[in-house]
Chain A
Amino acid sequence: MVIDSKVVLNGQTIAYTLYCLAIILVMGWFGFKITRTGKGSGVKDALFYSFVGFLVVLGVSLHIVTYHTIPWTKMDLNRQQINADKVFKIVMEKHQIILPSDTLRVKLGEKVLFDVTTNDLTYGFGVFRQDNTMVMQMQVVPGHRNDILWKFETPGLYTIRSTEYSGPAGANMIMKDVIKVEQ
């Protein structure tokens, strides 16, 4: 199975929804139980320390699991040591996205580096599918290199839009279907 951002987001939706339902039920049960006479005087210390241990394991393991399962994480953190198959230099200025060509053509599986520069404000650089779901995004900060290495997993047309607020004019920074990913 191809693991792309859509799959990761679906997984997150399922996990978080289940957690929400569980914690709402637990709080409902707790609210009911504390109005009733119970057995025993209080909560055992062992339960408290087990809960602390669980939180520590959960907090640390979340990032270890995502590092090893989300495909772009390792590539992103180590992108300086990886050679890109293709580089696109993009400029943002006066609420305009200036591309090196009308269409950015990418072959499926290629490692593409988007190197984005801003000459005035802080913007965002986001790539979206035709159903508006997000593939990825990064911030575009003036005076710094803003680059992201990406491998597209599905052929099709993709839209670039600024993902950061840069005043009312920023809402129109959209370049529809300008990335073409081919087999």
Chain B
Amino acid sequence: MKTLFYGEQGLFKPSSLTPMQKMVLRFVVVGLVYYLFALIEGMIMRIYQVSPVPAIPPHQYFAILTAHPLVGIFGSTYSLVCGAFLFLVPYLMKKPLWSLKLANWTWICIAAGTFTFWTAGFLTHYAPLYTLYWPLPADFSQFSVWGGTFFILGIAIVMLGTLFFIINVFATLLYTPEGWEKQPKGKIMASAIGYDGLINLFKKKEKQHEHLVSLPVAAIARGTVDMAFNTGIILFTGVLILIYMIAEILGYSLKTTVIDALLYKNWFWWGLDLIADGLVLIFVAGTWYLLATLITGKKLYMENIARAALLVELVVSWTVWSHHLLSDQAQPGILKVVSGEMVTAFELITQGLAFFITLATLWSARPLKMTNELKFLLGGLLGFALAVPAGIMQADVGLNRILHNTQWVVGPHVHVAVLVGLTMTLYSAIYVLFPVVTNGAKIYSQKLVNVHFWCHLIGGIGMGAFMGMAGLKGMLRRTIYYHGEYSLYMILAALAGILLVIGFLAFFYNILMSLGIKGIIGIFSPAENKTKDLVPQNTAV
């Protein structure tokens, strides 16, 4: 009981935290709470796929289906990623964050915006989206205009939070803190977006440009470029849908007459792929590099190539969207082949390089202790090694004809990439940062860490695999099967989902017992220590 209230050995003292540490921990709490939301929603849907539950009518089910990926991506992943990077950029640049106030507004906006669109979906059953795609023409015969308005408001608030994050990251990179020598903005920017890394590939060693920002910061900067484009596109789309809604309220239906549906689809997927095939892959690669160098204490293997590959990935992410339109017959064939197939295949190369470089860096430091951060990093690497080839297969004109919109897409590709690849990488980062941001708090139980690791790894891969098997047998995503057509696969996927729940509960309980209820509440009170330092001065980072 004492541990539950005060945390493991009473080591975590929120009063000792700096404002920066509190800010990061708030992001983590928000991220984990929304992960729990997504987990519960996911399990409801898993049960529904085994057999539709009479207590949940179809329109409620589809509202959950709509909210689920948004809560997972924006509420959970964006919170964890933004929190970690707002701490890591100043930590790695060895200069204070540009604006702590803006950083705090970021988590507030993400938390409030996610809650707003989730509530709008829950109360009004607003569910016209498939995954994140918002189809035109907007359908008001099945969905409430007011539900949609609040849904858009929620998304817009999240985007505002991400805008604050983007401003803060670039301002921190470029600004000159008080009393410092003037920072060379142009050179920092060239290093951050990978220009120097690319030039260095063609220069002799002695003439190579010096890197002004470390590789993980370069990855954060490059991923943030995609985040900026994406934020603009989602905001623009929200406004567009809002125009449809206002017209409907005023009694004038815009239907198909205003905007070409295929053009809009291209535009939207271009913007959305800046998340799925852009910032996620770039951020993940950067995090792998950081974790590998922190775990080994060694320089990254093939650093210049890693930097150049990140720049290539940035360009790839701008030209890759057409793989979402391989089943759209009006889409020009040249776009299907060049953007949909060939450019997409480049992701096999860029992500394969990041995978190899991370493993080679770890290999060079043998023998390593199998720490929590190392085992979760290996889990994350395995997740992408499984999910990226699954994506490359469906991005083929021939195979897409029989895979598009099946459970294959969302199982072995999306869920394995997000749950195993991305989430395990983030858990690795959490274990690295945990002692730094808590001033040396101790993890309550190593056994629970191991339970979390194995349940998450086996559950995540298992769930993706059984969904994929159902997909190969023709099971569609985003529909309901009333006659138990795929019950066996869905029961197995649900069992794997239960493993994921057990894993997360083990992690959640472990963190609760490590920090204590009093400690977690203390994270949200104003910091007593008003320093701009990342950690208290008497603590070694």
Please state if A12 and B399 are interface contacts (CB–CB under 8 Å): yes
The residue on A at minimum CB distance from B416 is A20
Give the complex CA separation of A63 and B353 in angstroms. 21
Please pick, from B128, B333, B337, the residue contacting A167 in the complex, using a CB distance under 8 A.
B128
Asked whether B255 is an interface residue with its Cβ less than 8 Å from the other chain, the reply is yes
Please state if B330 and A146 are interface contacts (CB–CB under 8 Å): yes
Please state if A163 and B333 are interface contacts (CB–CB under 8 Å): no
Give the complex CA separation of A84 and B336 in angstroms. 23
B113-121, B367-375, B495-503: which lies at the interface = B367-375
Q: Which residues of A contact B401 (CB under 8 A)?
A: 5, 72-73, 76, 136-138
Please pick, from A9, A51, A122, A131, the residue contacting B472 in the complex, using a CB distance under 8 A.
A9
Give the complex CA separation of A34 and B476 in angstroms. 41
Q: A138 with B327: in contact, given A56-B349, A165-B130 (CB under 8 Å)?
A: yes
Q: Enumerate A134-180 residues with CB–CB distance to B below 8 Å.
A: 134-139, 141-148, 161, 163-171
Please state if A141 and B262 are interface contacts (CB–CB under 8 Å): yes
Give the complex CA separation of A115 and B461 in angstroms. 39
Report B394 CB to chain A, min CB distance, Å. 10
Q: A73 with B404: in contact, given A27-B378, A141-B261 (CB under 8 Å)?
A: no
The residue on A at minimum CB distance from B370 is A35
Q: Which residues of B contact A16 (CB under 8 A)?
A: 389-390, 393, 412, 468
Asked whether A66 is an interface residue with its Cβ less than 8 Å from the other chain, the reply is yes
Asked whether A104 is an interface residue with its Cβ less than 8 Å from the other chain, the reply is no
Give the complex CA separation of A139 and B378 in angstroms. 38
Give the complex CA separation of A136 and B327 in angstroms. 10
Please state if A34 and B349 are interface contacts (CB–CB under 8 Å): no
Please state if A141 and B405 are interface contacts (CB–CB under 8 Å): no
The residue on A at minimum CB distance from B477 is A165
Please state if B360 and A120 are interface contacts (CB–CB under 8 Å): no
Please state if A27 and B367 are interface contacts (CB–CB under 8 Å): no
Please pick, from A30, A122, A124, the residue contacting B261 in the complex, using a CB distance under 8 A.
A122
Please state if B349 and A24 are interface contacts (CB–CB under 8 Å): no
Q: What per-residue 1/0 map shows which CB atoms of B186-212 lie under 8 Å from chain A?
A: 000000000000000000000000000
Q: State the majority secondary structure of interface residues on B.
A: helix
Give the complex CA separation of A59 and B468 in angstroms. 22
Asked whether B58 is an interface residue with its Cβ less than 8 Å from the other chain, the reply is yes
The residue on A at minimum CB distance from B483 is A132
Report B296 CB to chain A, min CB distance, Å. 10
Q: A31 with B142: in contact, given A141-B328, A163-B476 (CB under 8 Å)?
A: no
Please state if A142 and B472 are interface contacts (CB–CB under 8 Å): no
Please pick, from B137, B328, B346, B479, the residue contacting A59 in the complex, using a CB distance under 8 A.
B346
The residue on B at minimum CB distance from A129 is B474
Q: Which residues of A contact B345 (CB under 8 A)?
A: 59-60, 62-63
Chain B interface size, as a band, is: 35 or more
Q: A132 with B473: in contact, given A8-B399, A121-B135, A163-B404 (CB under 8 Å)?
A: yes
Give the complex CA separation of A141 and B476 in angstroms. 18
Chain A interface size, as a band, is: 35 or more
Asked whether B341 is an interface residue with its Cβ less than 8 Å from the other chain, the reply is yes
Q: A38 with B330: in contact, given A48-B360, A52-B349, A142-B261 (CB under 8 Å)?
A: no
Q: Which residues of B contact A138 (CB under 8 A)?
A: 327-329, 401
Asked whether B485 is an interface residue with its Cβ less than 8 Å from the other chain, the reply is yes
B34-42, B214-222, B379-387, B438-446: which lies at the interface = B379-387
Report A13 CB to chain B, min CB distance, Å. 6
Report B315 CB to chain A, min CB distance, Å. 16
Please state if B261 and A12 are interface contacts (CB–CB under 8 Å): no
Give the complex CA separation of A72 and B327 in angstroms. 13
Please state if A23 and B386 are interface contacts (CB–CB under 8 Å): yes
Q: Enumerate A12-28 residues with CB–CB distance to B below 8 Å.
A: 12-13, 16, 19-20, 23-24, 27
Give the complex CA separation of A163 and B337 in angstroms. 23
Please pick, from A38, A124, A126, the residue contacting B366 in the complex, using a CB distance under 8 A.
A38
The residue on A at minimum CB distance from B65 is A165
Give the complex CA separation of A167 and B359 in angstroms. 44
Q: Enumerate B452-500 residues with CB–CB distance to A below 8 Å.
A: 461, 465, 468-469, 472-480, 485-486
Please state if A122 and B348 are interface contacts (CB–CB under 8 Å): no
6 closest pairs, A vs B, by CB?
Answer: A59-B345, A70-B398, A42-B364, A144-B330, A73-B398, A165-B478
Interface positions of A (Cβ within 8 A of B): 5, 8-9, 12-13, 16, 19-20, 23-24, 27, 30-31, 33-38, 41-43, 45, 48, 51-52, 55-56, 58-60, 62-63, 66-67, 70, 72-73, 76-77, 120-122, 124, 126, 128-129, 131-139, 141-148, 161, 163-171
Give me 5 A-to-B residue pairs in the complex whose CB atoms sit less than 8 angstroms apart, sorted by A's number: A129-B474, A132-B485, A136-B401, A139-B325, A171-B479
